[in-house]
Every structure is written in C-alpha cells, then in structure tokens.
Amino acid sequence: MSYLRFDKTLMTNLEESLPREILRTNRSGAYHCSTIVDCNTRKYHGLLVIPVPELDDENHVLLSAMDETVIQHGAEFNLGLHKYHGDNFSPRGHKYIREYECEKVPTTWYRVGGVVLKKEKVFVHHENRILIRYTLVDAHSETILRLRPYLAFRSVREYTHENSQASRDYDVIDNGIKTRMYPGYPELYMQFSKENEFHFIPDWYRGIEYPKEQERGYDFNEDLYVPGYFEFKISKGECVTFSGGISSVDTSKLNQLFADEAEQRTPRKDFKNCLINAAHQFLNKQDGESYILAGYPWFKCRARDMFVSLPGLTLSVGEVSKFEMIMETAIKAIYAFMNGEKSTLKVYEIYHPDVLLWAVWTIQQYAKMVSRDAAKEKYLVLLKDIMTYLLDGRHPNLEVRDNGLVYANGRDNAITWMNSTVNGRPVVGRTGYIVEFNSLWYNALCFTADIMDEVGDNEFSSRLKSLSEKTGKSFVETFLNEYGYLLDFVDGDMMDWSVRPNMIFAAAFDYSPLDAKQKKGVIDIVTKELLTPKGLRSLSPKSGGYNPNYVGPQMQRDYAYHQGTAWPWLEGFYMEAYLKIYKRSAISFLWRQFVNYEDEMTCHCLGTLPELFDGNPPFKGRGAVSFAMNVAEILRGLYLLDKFENQ
C-alpha cells in the first residue's frame, strides 16, 4: 500500500480533500500545484505555472486546469471540479474518485459505471512541461474522452477576467493546438500522444472562486478562458498522454517520455523519502545558476533562507555535489554584495546583517558533514574574505563594537528573520545587540580562527581568537539575565525580556559563549514555554503580545506572524542543542518529536511541511504550502539524531 494514499471516503468529502494540496516542480522555477481533487483553491494554483522573465520576475499561470469528461452511449460524465459563488461546486467530478495515491507520481482513479480511468501527472525536470497520462483500466463498451483546458495567462499575483483583448487565435499542430492569449507570453502547446479532434468553441467560465484567497482577505474570483475541447476514443488498457508546454514535442514519444520521467522519481514510501523529495523541489536552476527557493508557491531565493537551508537540503541526504553547485552561485552573490557591485543573480535580501554570518555557518556544516580539508580547499578564501569584510567595518548595517559584539540598526526596517511589517514598520522591532546575530558572530570567530590555525595563518587566527574572548565575555554579560534565559535584544537602556526562540542558537552552535549550565537553562525554558508538537513558538504565551493564530486579512496575519506562531525549522537547532546537553538520554524524546511532523505528510501539502503553524492546539499549518527551512532543518535533525545514535 502506498504511504500517501486516500480512499473514496476522504476524496469525496470536500471538507477533508480540499485542504490537502499537491505540489510538483521542474527544478527550474516552474510548478504544478492544486488540491488532491484538482479543484484550484488559490490564485497560485495551476497545471502549468512558469516564470516568464521577458515580462517580470513573477511566475505566471498559463494552463489553470483540465476538465475530463467520460462519454459512453452518449451520456457525459464530467470529472472536473471548480468552486463558484455561494459554495457551489461544479461539475462535482470528485464524486467519481475511488482512490488517490502519490508514491511516485500523483495518481487518481475514477469510476463511472463500468469505466475505470486512471490519471497520472508528472512535471518534466528542467522543462516547462506538464504531462498527464490517462489509462482506461476497464470499460465494457466504446468510450470517448473529452478534455477541456482552462487558460489564464496571468501573473500568480493577479486575476484574469473576461475581456476583448484576449486572443482566440490558435494553430493546429501535431496532435493538438498552440495558442497565446496575450502578447509577450510564450505560446502554449497542448498535444496528445494520440490523434484527436479539437472542437473550437471559445467561451469564458465566469466567477470561479478561490476560497484560500478569501480566507486571506484578498480578492478571490476570476474568469477563465476555454478555447474548446479535445476528443478521442480510448480503448480498454490504452494509455494516452497529454503534454502542456511552451514548446512542441514529438507526440510519438510522449508515452515513453512520461514513463521515463516517472521512473526517475524517488518513491515517497516513508517520512524521510517524502522530505527528500520535498528538498529536491526547492532547487531552482536558471541561466546556468543554481538557487534554493525559500518556499512555494510565492517565495523567491532569499539569501538567509538559502544558507540556513542548504546543509539540511543537501548534505544531510548525501548530495554534496548539489551543495557545491548552489554555493558556486552563492559565492558570486556574496562577492557582488561585498564589492558593492550590481548583480543580475536572483539572490534576494543578501544585504541583511546576519546573512554573511549564516554563510560562515553553512561552510562550517560542510566541514563537519563532508570534510574539513575539502572545506578549506573550496571555501577558505571566502571564509577569510567574509570575516575581513566584517572586521573592517565595511558592512552597511553590522558594526563590530569595542566590546566585541556586533550591532545592527533595526528600528525602522525589519532586519532579522522576524521580518513582518505593518504600514512600513517592523512588527517586532529588533535592534541593537541582537541575540542570534551575536551567537552567529561568536561561532564564526571561533570556527574561522580554528581553520586559520590549521592552514598556518597564525596572525589572522590570533586576531580572531583575541576578539572572540572579548565577544564571549560581553555576550554573557549583555544577554544572560537573572532568570537563566537570554534577552532577545539589547539597545542601550532598552532590553527585550520577551521569551523568544532566538536564544536557542547560542546553545546549538558548536562554538558558544555559554557554559553547559547556562545552555541547560536556555534549553529548559525553551522546552517549557516555546516547544510545541510543530516547532518552537516565536513568542512565549507568558510574554506580552502573544498572538498564536495566523489567520484573517493580511494585516491581522502580519501582527501574528512572529508573535506566537510555531516554526519547525527552529526545532532543528533545538534538537541539536538538546543532544549536546542531554546526550543519549535525549534520543527517545527527540524521536517522538519527529512523529509530530510525520503526521503532516498527509495533511496540507502532501509530503512536505508548510511555512508555519498556529502556536496553540490544534497547531494548524499555515502560510506557504512548502517551506525550505522547515524541510531542511527537520532533515538535518534526522541526520544528527541518526548519527548520534550510531556513534
């Protein structure tokens, strides 16, 4: 039985099936995303969603959906599903679903009378092409399959509505048609592995609604253009493959192309394999460069997220070459930033004060998980250049103060990972001496000093060691309070006593200014006040402003974003810290923590982890359907625990 499988009972119950989403990517920025009943509930959903760099930096929905109709003895059975005004769903094709599973590729079985139809979908790697294979498993009389495409040709941030500018022109091509609704867009090629008839009956399907957008306080309805429908006879046991892409394909090879692509997929047969598959989806190769997307469906490559995610997404699953490939692009972006050069690389927000420190942490993980010699060979020059850049005070918003700590100004702009803003102002205004910045700084000083010692650069090593001693002493004096936990930030007389998870990094990093007793104090209060089954809360329920539910319109959600919501990626560092203090006695407790994440594999977006969770029961998943840092740190947690257990 498949690990990710749902039967008729769940699939025909829209309350259960609609919240469950499916994501497939081509690892070059394009994706397919919908619900498991193929009813789009977000404006970001679509069968073929691709970047169109000629237009802008956003993804665009070309092919929104495909409705299938089974015809026997003149009777039509439409398998499609769309939401319209007033909680009306039509044509309610989900009632014909008998089973859904997603081990290698998303597969749906429909039963209409004596007809059993299997539908499988796969996204071609590194090509803007979605493939759908239809197999008539059983039928007792002549069967016709009719396919009706719904076109959008719009940005994922916008909606389309009936208009006179949309082109109705199309050209007949090999076993299909090509069309383009608006200038500037690529042509959409819709082709089949079998000869078919295209019936040109252009129309707009009006008032299709997206309930997830309605929940989030946005506009939520649009009109989709249907140019007509394709129709062909299909025999029992026959497979017919549909291709939707931005270039023509050899239709005689479509069935084989689908089979080859499906064979390359890693089966989602257990929790870890699901996360590995999810990890692969964040890889984005464009114009010869490699990136890590922060999440789907709306995030781009954010520098901090990339460096935090990189070890977990690659090294923890043995994919060293992918790490090195992504670092090649990251290094170009780092040097462009440090040299003040304009860059065409699609790495965003590299100017944040902690990004370079996270880059050092990433190199440190490579040294631990691959080899120190390889790290020195590949990244020694970068390591020294980053530390020299920071020590020389060239970063525009990270100053090394006389006490050895680093200071950053975040009064007017959100500069940490807690980056939500309302009316242009940070919701969590963290500024001055920020606890995780200084944890990263101390760790970077000590790690780089040791590396420089090993390569014989004694002068630079001595400089770093001398500063690290001062930094460590100042860290404890500045952040450790009388209650045994760390202040979140300190700026002059302003001290933030809120219990937040950012203190956990000081206990987790290999080099820490805290002694074992102080680390234990931090871990214990994090366990007591911040730990949930779905990660660490961003704020303790005992602290002022606790707001654990990420719901409602944009502003309401922004106020809750880092005020009590739970984040799985933080638990990766919590597990690392917990292992260091409690050692073998921690193993059974930490394994139990993973059970809470395994539950998520069949909820929300199948086989991955969403962006965040509510901080209170039932800890509902929210935000982006798949989030890189969460997947990465749970994978790294599995790696650390497995390694520790087998020592």
Give residue-wise pLDDT tens across range 488-541.
999 999 999 999 999 999 999 999 999 999 999 999 999 999 999 999 999 999
The CA distance from 119 to 132, in Å, is 7
What average pLDDT does this structure show over 566-571?
A: 97
Question: 637 vs 7, 224, 348, 481, CA distance in Å?
Answer: 32, 44, 27, 29
User: Binning pLDDT at 50, 70 and 90, where does residue 646 land?
Assistant: confident
pLDDT at 572 > cutoff 70: yes
8 A C-beta contact, residue 192 and residue 240: yes
Nearest to 124 by CA among 133, 115, 116: 133
The CA distance from 476 to 518, in Å, is 9
User: Binning pLDDT at 50, 70 and 90, where does residue 217 land?
Assistant: confident
Give the DSSP letter string of 152-206: EEEETTS-----SSS---EEEETTEEEE-SSTTSPPEEEEESS--EEEEEEEEEE
What average pLDDT does this structure show over 153-180?
A: 96
Segment (H or E) for 638 = helix 628-645
8 A C-beta contact, residue 16 and residue 93: no
What average pLDDT does this structure show over 352-381?
A: 97
What average pLDDT does this structure show over 573-591?
A: 94
Give residue-wise pLDDT tens across range 609-619.
999 999 999 99
Residue of higher predicted confidence among 103 and 232: 232
pLDDT at 353 > cutoff 70: yes
Residue 310 identity (one-letter amino acid): L
The pLDDT of residue 316: 96
DSSP 58: S
Burial of 552 (0-12, 13-18, 19+ CB in 10 A): middle
What average pLDDT does this structure show over 174-183?
A: 96
Question: 547 vs 198, 528, 552, CA distance in Å?
Answer: 54, 18, 12
- Tell me the β-bridge partners of 295: 627
The CA distance from 430 to 329, in Å, is 30
Burial of 647 (0-12, 13-18, 19+ CB in 10 A): exposed
The pLDDT of residue 1: 56
Mean pLDDT of the chain: 95
Give residue-wise pLDDT tens across range 240-282.
999 999 999 999 999 999 999 999 888 899 999 999 999 999 9
Backbone angles phi, psi at 367, to 5 degrees: -60, -35
3-state percent breakdown (helix, strand, coil) of the chain, nearest 5: 35, 30, 35
The CA distance from 143 to 72, in Å, is 5
**Alpha helix locations (H) across 513-586?**
516-529, 554-560, 568-582
Q: Which two tokens stand for residue 318?
A: 């043995």
The pLDDT of residue 87: 85
User: Binning pLDDT at 50, 70 and 90, where does residue 216 land?
Assistant: confident
When computed from its CA atoms, the radius of gyration of the chain, rounded to whole angstroms, is 26
What is the SS3 assignment for 426-486?
A: ECCCCCEEEHHHHHHHHHHHHHHHHHHHHCCCHHHHHHHHHHHHHHHHHHHHHHECCCCCE
Give residue-wise pLDDT tens across range 286-323.
889 999 999 999 999 999 999 999 999 999 999 999 99
Q: Which two tokens stand for residue 610?
A: 């969403």
DSSP 236: T
Nearest to 118 by CA among 103, 138, 102, 140: 138
Alpha carbon dihedral 500, 354, 411, 397, in 10-degree steps, equals 160
Q: Which two tokens stand for residue 177?
A: 């048609």
Backbone angles phi, psi at 345, to 5 degrees: -65, 145
Alpha carbon dihedral 37, 273, 330, 475, in 10-degree steps, equals 110
Question: Peptide bond before 618: cis, by omega within 30 degrees of 0?
Answer: yes
User: Strands 239-245 and 129-138: what pairing?
Assistant: antiparallel
The CA distance from 94 to 414, in Å, is 44
pLDDT at 424 > cutoff 90: no
Q: What is the pTM of this model?
A: 0.94
**Alpha helix locations (H) across 12-87?**
14-17
